[in-house]
Amino acid sequence: MNIRIKTIVGLHTVIALLLLHSCKDKFFTELDNPSDISTNEKLHSVINGAKATLNLSHYWESYWYIMNNADELTYGVRYFGYKDEIKDRNTPFDIFNYSNLKIVYLKGFGAFETENIYAPLYEGIITLNRVLLTDDNSYRNMEHMHIIGEAYLFRAYFYFLLVRVYNHIPLITNIDVNYEIKLSGPGDIYNLILSDLNKAIDKLPDYANSELMYSRYSAKTVLAQVYMFMGGYPLYDTDKYSLAVNVCSEIMASNTAALEPDFKELLKYGNNNENVFSMYINEGLEGFQEIAGFYNIPEFEFYNSFPSNYRKRTLLKTAFIDTRDLSTNNLLPATPLVYEIKEMPNNIGPKAAVVFDLHSLKYPITVTNNRTNNHFNINFFRYAHVLLAYAECKARIGEVDQSAYNAINVIRRRANKLPISEVSAFDLQQGLTPQQFVDSVIAERRWELCAEPEGRWFDIVRLQLLNQINEARHTGEFIFEPRFSSQQFPYTSYFATIPESEFYLNLNLK
């Protein structure tokens, strides 16, 4: 493999670890003694370095290219038109039906678009392998055991990401350079993931603390999602649904997390009660938010079918952006003037180019003294994931009981800014069949988990929904911009190919 075998050094503070955009190689520094994990501080520093590669894989456009093959958001789209072509510009609305606007897609799903996922995650895996090869179940103290548990948790999650993106990947559990390693199938990869997660559960503390932000319930949350995914494509191991229910029940009974009563709390900086498995990102990843928040724009069908409620108004911003004249083919200004739809001024010339822009607010950007402030938690899995996984998997094993209804109804109530513990008119109708209930949960996941790393795209994969979503897309959204993608849209592949650069060293990866 084309991977540098080295230990990635954590710099003791997340701030230093995450300044990845300025100088990538700065954080892949060789240790004089790479086996020196003789203290808990040094051990945790190495693991933090490995975790930094996870942030790197999300910082670059690669991860968002994959997510945006779903039917909710797309990266880099702008709905272009002239002011006179846009109707009702001073009225807030919930339906986007401006047929005269031009659409440009910047989607992609080839090897090039995913190369910044593959290499960083394997670099992190190699670093974690170095740590885990020393695990002989003999520990200096409880903190030492907890840190080893965190290493198992993150190696499992790294592989969980990789197997869902590529399906067949190298299975590496050592630090040896092997240019003849062959691809392993998803069954073997998932076996390692399950093994690592169970070890993490055994070694992590019951509750997170100031020294370690992950608990055994963080690992159980990932385990429940793994079980649910294994029940779908490509493994179809449906026995795992009952295991997912059991694990979710344990998490729900633990009181280690709770649903935030107000959806808006999820959009704020810092921690919240819903965090279960997340990572804190401090200043230095402006690019992450520009990609994940500003440049991800809802598609026609997604926006129009999104229930008109508090969650939609909180999450999706609608605005017109004053740009240069499109006839010159100039790019958007670096800092365009943004007008909320209800406040669009009338003094813009009739032939001035404007952009209808919708973008997610789950990764907000604020500017103070010309500096971007972007410290926040990126939620990989939050408590809503647990509730929705519980509801769906209960139905898949034929147990559509009141606990399943409660799990989804609290989310539906919050979406409408209602007390989550009180019965409401927005609760699911009683008496649904298991399949009707599953369909309702899948739809709710689409809205609730919109624009999140562990959201819609991976549901589309495990449920094989590509044909269905392509048929539902607005016909105008099949315009393709060849400069930014190596594959025509719409896409029909659920998995990416391994980056071509890896084949130069090992033809077995083809």
Report in angstroms the alpha-carbon separations of 410 from 22, 96, 400, 437: 42, 29, 16, 15
Is this structure's pTM higher than 0.95?
no
The vertex-374 CA angle with 317 and 452, nearest 5°, equals 55
Domain ranges of the chain: 7-69+108-204+489-510, 73-106+285-360
Secondary-structure class of domain 7-69+108-204+489-510 per CATH = mainly alpha
What does the pLDDT look like over 49-82, one tens digit per residue?
Answer: 898 888 777 765 667 667 767 887 665 444 444 4
What does the pLDDT look like over 409-438, one tens digit per residue?
Answer: 999 999 999 999 999 999 999 999 999 999
What backbone phi and psi angles, to 5 degrees, belong to 316? -105, 120
Report the number of secondary-structure helices (H) and strands (E) in the chain: 16, 13
DSSP 374-404: --EEEEEEEHHHHHHHHHHHHHHTT---HHH
Beta bridge partners of 321: 338, 355
357 conformational bin, left if phi > 0, alpha if psi -120 to 50, beta if neither: beta
Q: What is d(CA 404, CA 179) in angstroms, rounded to the nearest whole number?
A: 49
pLDDT in tens, the chain (510 residues): 443 333 444 333 332 333 222 233 322 333 344 457 889 999 988 998 898 888 777 765 667 667 767 887 665 444 444 444 444 433 333 434 434 333 444 444 444 467 778 889 999 999 999 999 999 999 999 999 999 999 999 999 999 999 999 999 999 999 988 889 999 999 999 999 999 999 999 999 998 876 678 999 999 999 999 999 999 999 999 999 999 999 999 999 999 999 999 998 887 766 788 989 988 765 444 444 444 444 556 676 787 788 889 998 787 765 544 444 434 434 333 333 333 333 334 444 444 433 444 444 455 444 333 334 455 567 899 999 999 999 999 999 999 999 999 999 999 999 999 999 999 999 999 999 999 999 999 999 999 998 788 989 999 999 999 888 878 776 555 444 444 444 445 567 888 888 888 888 888 888
The vertex-409 CA angle with 404 and 412, nearest 5°, equals 140
